[in-house]
């Protein structure tokens, strides 16, 4: 009977899939400085909230960018309801707002739901 080998192979496949799955970082008031401001990479920071319809449209785009730019940029999301200090510090009044931060400074900003190509163009501009 071959019940054990398939189970082991299946578990290894799941573990491999979990390692490959790249997601946007969950940024908080407590980890924002170390993860974003002190990073040597450009950061793409999506300020959003669960109740925001346009934020739910932008969310999957941010996840795609996180996967595609893994190792090249820091890509994360700040839930403004749970992290008011960071949202207030950056004057976030409308969501979604996406900030592009380089060397601890905001170098670009996009407010509202926009196509992925527009965000990628901005990011690429700051990567060079």
Please list the active-site residues.
52, 55
Distance CA 103, CA 86 (A): 17
The pairs formed by 101-106 with CB atoms below 8 angstroms and a separation of 24 or more are 101/36, 101/37, 101/42, 101/43, 101/45, 102/42, 102/43, 102/126, 104/37, 104/38
């Amino acid at each position: 009977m071959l019940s054990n080998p398939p189970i082991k192979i299946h578990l290894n496949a799941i573990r491999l899939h979990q390692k490959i799955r790249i997601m946007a970082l969950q940024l908080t008031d407590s980890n924002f400085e170390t993860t974003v401001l002190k990073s040597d990479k450009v950061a793409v920071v999506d300020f959003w909230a669960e109740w925001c319809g346009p934020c739910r449209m932008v969310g999957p785009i941010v996840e795609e960018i996180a996967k595609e730019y893994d190792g090249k940029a820091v890509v994360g999301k700040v839930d403004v309801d749970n992290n008011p200090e960071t949202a207030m510090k950056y004057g976030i009044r409308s969501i979604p707002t996406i900030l592009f931060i380089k060397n601890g400074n905001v170098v670009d900003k996009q407010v509202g739901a926009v196509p992925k190509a527009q965000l990628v163009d901005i990011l690429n501009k700051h990567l060079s």
